[in-house]
Structure formats: C-alpha cells, structure tokens
Amino acid sequence: MNRQRALKLGVIGDPIAHSKSPAMHNAALRELGLEGEYAAIHVTPQRLGDMIRSVREDGYRGINVTIPHKENVMPYLDELGEDARRIGAVNTIVNENGRLIGRNTDGIGYVRSLKEEAAAELTGRRIVVIGAGGAARGIVHALAAEAPDRITLLNRTTQRAEELAREWSDLIDLVALPADRAAQALESADLVINTTSVGMHPHVDGLPLDPALLRGTEIVSDLIYNPLETRLLRLARERGCRTHGGLGMFVYQGAYALEYWTGVPAPVSAMRRAVLASMEI
C-alpha cells in the first residue's frame, strides 16, 4: 500500500444512509493518524458494475459491501479469498494495484466477539442457528472452525437449510429443520444464534422464535445491533440466559476489513465508541 496517498475507502449498499460504518472507520483513521476518508455510497443494483469499475480505476484502496450486493459483486472481482468463496458472499474488497480481491469478515468478526463476550470455549457446543441466508452462511463457516458438537439450522424455507447442510457436510455435523420444529431443536441446544433481521429497528417487537422454548439454553446471541438489546435478548435474559448482541460483530468485521486495507492493527475501542456515539448512546 502506498502510505503517501490518502486512503479512499467506503461502503456500498442500497439503501445505505443508515450505515454506521463511516462513523466507525473515520474514527479509526483518526485514531491511527492516517490520512483518508471512508464514505457511504448509494449504489443501486443497476450501477454495481460501474461502481466496481470506479473502485478499480479511481484510487480506492477498498470498500465494504452490504445488502443487496454481497453475492452479486463476486463476478466483478479478480480473486476471492477462501472465506468469501466458501461462504458465497463478499463484504470486503481490497484493491491491490488494480486487482480486486474479495473477502468476507462477517463470520470471523462474529466468532471473535462471541468468544470475548459470551462463550470463550465453543468446542463441543450444541448450537442452533436461526436462518439460512448469507449471514448464517458466514456464521456457520466460522463456527465450524471451532469444533462444536453439532449445528442445527432452523429456517422457514427448509430446502435452503438442507442445501447448506449438504454443501458443508465436510466441515461440520449440520442438521436442517423447519422453523415449526424449533422446540425439538432447542431441547438440547446450549447456544442459540439469530442471524435473521427479525427484531431489528424499526420493527423492534419482532421475535424469531418463542422465548418460552429457551428453558435449557445457556446463551442466546443476536446479530442485530440496533437496538443494542433486541426483544429476543431481553426476554432471554429475563429467563436466565446469558445474552450476546451484535455490536461486537459489527465492530470486529470492520476491524478485520481495516487491517486488510492498512496492514496495521485496528483501534477496536475507538471504533466501538464511535458506533455507540453515532447511535446517541
């Protein structure tokens, strides 16, 4: 990386105005004493190809990619890291002198946060993952490296969960069940993870499962970070479960991306403070 040039960074999505990434990354650049700017860029699906051409030609060191582009951006890139290739989605692009490399930092960011904040040891855990979309893929891929006993996927569309279980049968013991069999899945689970958007602001009353089913569950985790405590987490806490929210995942996925772009350790504390300040906490 050319240290003499100001870093040109950003995040693309549709919509994107709500993103907390600019506040987080610009605070990180200031903390590190690096010249540059990280911007939120509204990119519709029709303009995705033009935007990636701009990343290649207009001096971007890298960008983050969010909904709805994480999968569709892949054909525009020159290379995929093993993480992005296996997950089937990209959330970070690194520009190496015009060669665009796609990475995925969501899963490793989540597991780092989970281990630091709620479950230091994941080996042998019986885990239930709610959802089977792109977020779930990143989480399951990273969890598989921690050697849990079993991961059960609960999803409204059973076929999608079954396809993921077959695809990754070489990684981990994966079981797919329809959402209406949640009671069966939760009987032996000690860690439950919501990877869906149910309960996210502004629809904060949503619940991805019936909290009454959490009787034997030790830890309940939710990828959502706005609100910081979802209704699911509040009700799980009231039932005696340890809870883990999505703020840490958001910070760490950004930290790993920043480290790809700069080659220096990310200032995680400053990044977390910036996100909280942007939420007026």
| 3-state SS, one letter per residue, for 155-194 | ECCHHHHHHHHHHCCCCCCEEEEEHHHHHHHHCCCCEEEE
Residue 280 is predicted with a pLDDT of 75
Write the class of the CATH domain 107-245.
Answer: alpha beta
Amino acid at 88: G
User: 184 among the known binding-site residues?
Assistant: no
Tens place of pLDDT per residue across the chain (281 aa): 444 589 999 999 999 998 999 999 999 999 999 999 999 999 999 999 999 999 999 999 999 999 899 999 999 999 999 999 999 999 999 999 999 999 999 999 999 999 999 999 999 999 999 999 888 999 999 999 999 999 999 999 999 999 999 999 888 999 999 988 999 999 989 999 999 999 998 899 999 999 999 988 999 999 999 999 999 999 999 999 999 999 999 999 999 999 999 999 999 999 999 999 998 75
Write the class of the CATH domain 7-104+250-278.
Answer: alpha beta
Residue 1 is predicted with a pLDDT of 42
Residue 104: closest CA among 93, 91, 117: 91
Please identify which of the residues 70, 86, 137, 244 carries the catalytic annotation.
70
- Asked if 58 contacts 5 with a C-beta cutoff of 8 angstroms, the reply is no
> Which H helix or E strand runs over 39?
strand 36-42
User: 26 among the known binding-site residues?
Assistant: no
Which residue ranges make up each domain of the chain? Answer: 7-104+250-278, 107-245
User: 106 among the known binding-site residues?
Assistant: yes
Please tell me if the domain spanning 7-104+250-278 has the same topology as the one spanning 107-245: yes
Residue 18 is predicted with a pLDDT of 87
Residue 281 is predicted with a pLDDT of 53
Residue 4 is predicted with a pLDDT of 56
Give the Cβ contact number of residue 159 at 10 Å: 11
Q: Is 70 annotated as catalytic?
A: yes
User: 153 among the known binding-site residues?
Assistant: no
User: 221 among the known binding-site residues?
Assistant: no
Residue 80 is predicted with a pLDDT of 98
